Amino acid sequence: MDGLRQRFERLLEQRNLATEALGALEAKTGIDKRYLAAGAATLLSLYLLFGFGASLLCNVIGFVYPAYASIKAIESPSKDDDTVWLTYWVVYGLFGLAEFFSDLLLSWFPFYYAGKCAFLLFCMIPGPWNGAHMLYHRAVRPLFLKHHEAVDSVVRDFSGRALDVAAGITRDVLQTLARGRALVTPTAALGADRT
What residue spans define the domains of the chain?
11-50, 127-181
> What pLDDT is recorded for position 183?
64
Q: What is the pTM of this model?
A: 0.65
> What pLDDT is recorded for position 142?
93
> What pLDDT is recorded for position 92?
95
Instruction: Map residue 20 onto helix, strand or coil.
Output: helix
> What pLDDT is recorded for position 187?
58
CB 114 within 8 Å of CB 41: no
Per-residue pLDDT of the chain (195 residues), as tens digits, is 566 677 777 777 777 677 788 888 888 888 888 888 888 888 877 877 777 778 888 888 899 989 999 999 999 998 888 999 999 999 999 999 988 888 777 767 778 888 888 899 999 988 788 899 999 999 999 999 998 898 888 888 888 888 888 899 999 888 888 887 766 655 555 555 555
d(CA 126, CA 60): 19
d(CA 51, CA 54): 6
CB 91 within 8 Å of CB 135: yes
Count CA within 13 A, CB hemisphere, residue 165: 6
